[in-house]
A = this chain, B = another copy of it.
Amino acid sequence: MDSKTKRFILSEQEIPTHWYNIQAEMKNKPLPPLHPGTKQPLKPEDLFPIFAEELSRQELNQTDAWIEIPEEVRNLYKNYRSTPLVRAYALEKALGTPAHIYFKNESVSPIGSHKINSAIPQAYYCKKEGITNITTETGAGQWGAALSYAAKAFGLDLAVYMVKISYEQKPYRRSIMQTFGAQVTPSPSMSTKAGKKILTENPNYQGSLGTAISEALELAMNTPNCKYTLGSVLSHVSLHQTVIGLEAEKQMEMAGEYPDIVIGCFGGGSNFSGISFPFMRHNIKGDKKTRFIAAEPASCPKLTRGVFQYDFGDEAGYTPLLPMFTLGHNFAPANIHAGGLRYHGAGVIVSQLLKDGLMEAVDIPQLESFDAGMLFAQTEGIVPAPESNHAIAAAINEAKKCKETGEEKVILFNLSGHGLIDMTAYEQYIAGDLINYALTDEDIAKNTSELEKII
């Protein structure tokens, strides 16, 4: 047993006052999003019909490296921040690795994941601009639950389209949203043109984030005084999530260490960005040589097997064209339990960073992710979200390499959420009913080959 400090927590005064905007410091800026009709680069004003104005400006801001966190947002951050940075001594011991493994524990937020970090500012800016109604989509329900809380906190009405497979697999998340007063509809639904079209073609379609985004966007565009919000992918969401890494940087300092490797699971990119970008700025400056690893599911491998191309962010093609690693916006991901990672594309910043070799990506099969999650639960006592299991698996793989080489590397990963509402998945794992989903090169080429060649 070890009696050294395990958990590092910041005082309320040390909670970051600014988010870090990596766009301002990237040598190669992300390519601009394009208007799908004119193919012209978007200006913030082009986004005003969809998003709050301040969020639109943040989305395309490539000049200000630091953006102040409004007082009202910080005040709600204080309800659960700082989250702890934890040294995973028990996991290290179980692996027999000389590596030092740390995790940032975002699972202790009221809703159980990091999603609340962006939900609060998004609801705040909408409220501040006089908006009364917001819409969104949600995969596993983590984002929807977080936004439901934030909408309630700022007195906004919220309509959520929840990916149908998750709506059925995760009824508790649906109820959490309803507890906070949100209206929840399974997607695809018959309430939008986008949903009707998909259901007509494929009545049994289990939904995807891409489809749910189309539905939420359509509702926002057709409702007065209503804006759309998104829980990942976009640059302003990554911006808000940097509060994770900025805290972790101070906490690693308390621990007297600096990470050699930083790892996040990867759906649209926001939690990975959040833990990574504040450390990556030191790589950009040339001060550090940290490795950054995005861990995506093998069944939805846009970073490791997708193409870098302009593509839509949603199934129906309502969004601007985004320069991203993508499997094609018509890609229908397998029904893995990590619902939050079932998305065809990656955010524009992360896509550029991957292209430029500033980060890496690995893909993790479903069973390997749960092997890792079980070991983590049994050693550290926290049942992780299926999404987070991908980050844990990647961290374990790196720690095992250290065991072989004898290197005492410092590995930091983001525990993006707990899995207490995903126990069906663990039940299936324990029963031996969980499977891997393999994708052939043909499966992947089917959707990516249809993309218009712009780059």
Contacting chain B: which of A132-140, A176-184, A280-288, A294-302?
Answer: A176-184
With an 8 Å Cβ cutoff, the count of chain A residues facing the other chain is 48
Asked if A2 meets B75 with Cβ closer than 8 Å, knowing A175-B426, A430-B179, the reply is yes
Known: A5-B78, A7-B79, A172-B424. 11 other contacts (CB 8 A): A1-B71, A7-B78, A7-B80, A153-B381, A172-B420, A175-B424, A180-B377, A180-B378, A181-B378, A420-B421, A421-B421
Among residues 379 to 412 in chain A, which have CB atoms less than 8 Å away from a CB atom of chain B? 380-383
Asked if A172 meets B175 with Cβ closer than 8 Å, knowing A9-B9, A149-B381, the reply is no
Asked if A79 meets B380 with Cβ closer than 8 Å, knowing A172-B423, A176-B420, A179-B430, the reply is yes
Cβ of A430: which chain B residues have Cβ within 8 Å of it? 175, 178-179
One complex includes copies of this chain to the number of: 2
Cβ of A171: which chain B residues have Cβ within 8 Å of it? 423, 427
Nearest residue, chain B, Cβ from A72: B1
Q: A49 at the A/B interface (Cβ < 8 Å)?
A: no
CA distance A113 to B380 in the complex (A): 16
Instruction: Give chain B nearest CB distance to A127 CB in angstroms.
Output: 12
Q: A12 at the A/B interface (Cβ < 8 Å)?
A: yes
Contacting chain B: which of A32-40, A104-112, A267-275, A348-356?
Answer: A104-112
Among residues 146 to 187 in chain A, which have CB atoms less than 8 Å away from a CB atom of chain B? 149, 152-153, 171-172, 175-176, 178-181
Q: A197 at the A/B interface (Cβ < 8 Å)?
A: no
Cβ of A424: which chain B residues have Cβ within 8 Å of it? 172, 175
A3 CB contact (under 8 Å) in B75, B86, B111, B176? B75
CA distance A153 to B1 in the complex (A): 11
Q: A374 at the A/B interface (Cβ < 8 Å)?
A: yes
CA distance A5 to B13 in the complex (A): 9
A1 near B75 (CB under 8 angstroms)?
A: yes
CA distance A377 to B152 in the complex (A): 10
A383 CB contact (under 8 Å) in B79, B80, B176, B427? B176
Nearest residue, chain B, Cβ from A149: B381
Q: A289 at the A/B interface (Cβ < 8 Å)?
A: no
Cβ of A176: which chain B residues have Cβ within 8 Å of it? 383, 420, 423, 426
Cβ of A9: which chain B residues have Cβ within 8 Å of it? 9
CA distance A108 to B108 in the complex (A): 6
